[in-house]
Amino acid sequence: MEKSINLRIDHQCPQCGAPATLDETDRLFQCAFCKVKSYLMQRGYFRYLLPHNAATGREMVYFPYWRFKGMIFSCLASGIENRFLDLSQQAVQSPLFPSSVGLRSQAMKLRFVSPETKGWFIRPTLPFQGVMETFLERVNRRMPRPILHQSHIGESLSLIYAPFTVGRRIMDGVLNQPVSKELDETFQISQYAGGPADWRIEFIPTLCPNCGWDLQGRRDALVLSCKHCESMWKASKNGLSRVNVAHLPAASRADTLYLPFWRIKADVSGLELASYADLIRLANLPKVVQPEWNQAPWHFWGPAFKVRPRSFLRLTHQTTLSQPRESLVAAAPPGAMHPVNLPLSESVETLKLNLAGFIRPQKRVETCIPGVQIQPRRYLLVYLPFEVRHHDLVQPSLNIAVNRAQLALAENL
Structural element, H or E, at residue 302: strand 300-303
Closer residue to Zn ion, CB minimum distance, 45 or 213: 213
Query: Exactly one of 84, 199, 213, 293 binds Zn ion (CB under 5 A); which one?
Result: 213
Neighbours of 391 (CB within 10 A): 10
Nearest to 321 by CA among 290, 360, 292, 379: 360
Q: Does 122 bind Zn ion (CB under 5 A)?
A: no
Strand partners of residue 402: 393
Beta strands in 319-396 (DSSP E): 336-337, 373-388, 392-395
Residue 210 to residue 36: CA distance in whole angstroms: 20
Give the binding range for Zn ion (CB under 5 A) out of 4-12, 54-62, 229-237, 404-412: 229-237
Q: Measuring CA to CA, how many Å separate 66 from each of 95, 158, 259?
A: 16, 6, 32
Per-residue string for binding with Zn ion, 24-53, x by CB under 5 A?
-------x-xx-------------------
Phi–psi pair at 70, nearest 5 degrees: 170, -165
Q: Does 240 bind Zn ion (CB under 5 A)?
A: no
Neighbours of 108 (CB within 10 A): 15
- Closest approach of Zn ion to the CB of residue 71, in Å: 34
Nearest to 171 by CA among 16, 70, 56, 60: 60
Per-residue string for binding with Zn ion, 162-201, x by CB under 5 A?
----------------------------------------
Closer residue to Zn ion, CB minimum distance, 11 or 308: 11
- Closest approach of Zn ion to the CB of residue 384, in Å: 24
Closer residue to Zn ion, CB minimum distance, 23 or 230: 230
Residue 8 to residue 26: CA distance in whole angstroms: 10
Per the rule left: phi > 0, alpha: psi between -120 and 50, beta: everything else, 280 is alpha
Q: Does 229 bind Zn ion (CB under 5 A)?
A: yes
- Closest approach of Zn ion to the CB of residue 228, in Å: 5
Q: Does 216 bind Zn ion (CB under 5 A)?
A: no
Residue 333 to residue 245: CA distance in whole angstroms: 9
Per the rule left: phi > 0, alpha: psi between -120 and 50, beta: everything else, 257 is beta
- Closest approach of Zn ion to the CB of residue 227, in Å: 8
- Closest approach of Zn ion to the CB of residue 292, in Å: 39
Give the binding range for Zn ion (CB under 5 A) out of 15-23, 61-69, 81-89, 101-109: 15-23
Q: Does 228 bind Zn ion (CB under 5 A)?
A: yes
Query: Exactly one of 60, 226, 245, 401 binds Zn ion (CB under 5 A); which one?
Result: 226
- Closest approach of Zn ion to the CB of residue 39, in Å: 14
Q: Does 208 bind Zn ion (CB under 5 A)?
A: yes
Q: Does 331 bind Zn ion (CB under 5 A)?
A: no
Nearest to 30 by CA among 239, 234, 201, 219: 219
Please tell me the number of Cα atoms within 13 Å of 33 on its side-chain side.
Answer: 10
- Closest approach of Zn ion to the CB of residue 18, in Å: 5
- Closest approach of Zn ion to the CB of residue 208, in Å: 3
Closer residue to Zn ion, CB minimum distance, 140 or 210: 210
Closer residue to Zn ion, CB minimum distance, 45 or 203: 203
Closer residue to Zn ion, CB minimum distance, 229 or 336: 229
Nearest to 382 by CA among 274, 238, 223, 252: 223
Strands 300-303 and 256-269, by their bridges, are antiparallel
Residues lying near Zn ion in the complex (CB under 5 A)? 13, 15-16, 18, 31, 33-34, 208, 210-211, 213, 226, 228-229
